[in-house]
Amino acid sequence: MNNSDKPEINQLYADDPVAADRVLWGRQSHALSRRGFLKKSGLVAMSTALGMTIPFSRFMPAGLIPAAFAAESAVDQIPGKDGLIVLNNRPVNAETPAHLLDDSVTPNSRMFVRNNGIPPENVNPETWLLEIGGESCERPVSFSIEELRQRFEEVTLQLQLECGGNGRSEFAPAASGNQWTTGAIGCPSFTGIRLRDVLNYCGLKADAEYIGYYGADTHTSGDPDRDPISRGVPIGKAMERETLIAWQMNGEDIPMQNGYPLRLICAGWPGSVSGKWLNRIVVRDQLHDGEKMAAPSYSVPKQSVAPGSRVPNEDMKIIESMPVKSLITFPQSGLSHDLRERMIIRGHAWAGDDQLSGVFLSIDFGATWIPSALQSASNRLAWQDWETWIQFPEPGYYEVWARAMDARGKSQPMLVPGWNPRGYLNNACHRIAVQVV
């Protein structure tokens, strides 16, 4: 499926998605939220649009828009980044197409960017200070980066960072915010020191509950008194061995957009707790009350709600660990494949704070699942690589779906999970389109 034979149904979806749905599914409701079966005329229309048969069409879930029709976005240039899709220019937000996340360790050039404010300029790592304080800190101290390096044990860990809003674009009705598809995730290797060593050095008072971070970025309004974001984690998460204050990513300076010269990494939780351009950490005797800590930011309804509901803030709870998820990074969606050959397929899977128990693949819209080989993680909170191969039974249009399961038996939903007002935590199965010829 190269662009020239991209079906005109793309255009139909672009022009009028409701009409496109009606053509295919015979009902006028939003994609992915209906029940029912593909009408015969819908199947004909869909096959015609795809230019090929759909061998497992009988298993297609109602309302499914074939992955082949996924919208394509323009690629912009961000200095130091390669092939990222820019969702917003001010502040800069850019995601990585799935096939560019194929490396086991995400290169600096392919790490997504999620900025809430305007990054600092003219950063000088020699004069940079990290201040540790707050009401529950025994001994407030300011450290230069050099002092941090000298005083504390250096560690290098591979750590996954996923934005809480990754996958938001699939929610219907649409949730406001950056319309991330699948690319607000990465798993680079970070070098720095453990936050807990620094906190132990400064001393935690008995009532210490939470830490909060501040960064050197500025509010988009230009108001110097407003923070773009200041989030944090409970002391338990802050004291984990994997929670780092890092100055290197993949053995190089952290890229400017990713928090140069110093950042916090609390992997497994929404990326928003991993403060960039880090210059202050406060130890709090209560839930940190910095910018974007309170609902509805990074919060979801305590009870599931109907799509489109208004949810009062007091009925929301703050997101902690991210859910189990996986990504197909090879091959790229939309490629054509020779029926006689096996197709190698691979990607990564992760489970927030938790462990994975397996990754499974389906080529028949979820009717049957094939277990995949899973590599071990480099360390806790690093994604795991998986790889397997597939033999297709006949020519036609296929989707390959990947589904990971965590150690507690929770697995990814096949289609979009619980709608929530801000569009967080979409861990639906990733799927790619394959044309078998």
Ligand X SMILES: Nc1nc2c(c(=O)[nH]1)N[C@H]1C(S)=C(S)[C@@H](COP(=O)(O)O)O[C@H]1N2
Using CB under 5 A as the criterion, which residues of the chain lie in contact with Mo ion when the complex forms? 114, 163, 271-272
Query: Nearest approach, Cβ of 259 to ligand X (angstroms)?
Result: 6
- From CA 73, how far away is CA 380, in angstroms rounded? 34
In the complex, what is the shortest distance from the CB of residue 168 to Mo ion, in angstroms, rounded to a whole number? Answer: 10
Select the binding partner of residue 243 from ligand X, Mo ion, none (C-beta < 5 to 8 A, by kind).
none
Whole-number Å distance between alpha carbons of 258 and 299: 23
167 versus 259: smaller Cβ distance to ligand X: 259
The smaller minimum CB distance to ligand X, of residues 30 and 219, is found at: 219
Closest approach of Cβ 121 to Mo ion, in Å? 22
Minimum CB separation of residue 163 from ligand X in Å reads: 3
User: With CB cut-offs between 5 and 8 Å by kind, which of Mo ion, ligand X, none does residue 217 bind?
Assistant: ligand X
Residue 118 or 335: the one with the smaller Cβ distance to ligand X is: 118
Q: Give, rounded to a whole angstrom, the gap between the first and last alpha carbons of the chain.
A: 11
CB nearer ligand X, residue 169 or residue 411: 169
Backbone angles phi, psi at 30, to 5 degrees: -75, 145
Strand pairing category for 335-337 and 430-436: parallel
Question: Cis (ω within 30 of 0) for the bond into 261?
Answer: yes
Provide the minimum distance between the beta carbon of 162 and ligand X in the complex, in angstroms, as a whole number: 7
Q: Distance between CA atoms of 433 and 335, rounded to whole angstroms?
A: 7
Nearer to ligand X, 289 or 341 (CB): 289
- Using the minimum distance from each CB to ligand X, give the nearer residue, 116 or 435: 116
> What is the binding site for ligand X (CB under 6 A)?
111-117, 161, 163, 215, 217, 228-229, 258-259, 271-272, 274-277
Give the whole-angstrom CA distance, residue 123 versus residue 128: 8
- Name which of Mo ion, ligand X, none residue 96 binds, using a CB cut-off of 5 to 8 Å depending on partner kind: none
What does 83-148 look like in DSSP terms, one character per residue? SPEEEEETTEEEE--GGGG-SSS--GGG--EE-SSBPPSS--TTT-EEEEE-TTBSS-EEEEHHHH
Nearest-approach distance from CB 254 to ligand X, in angstroms:
8
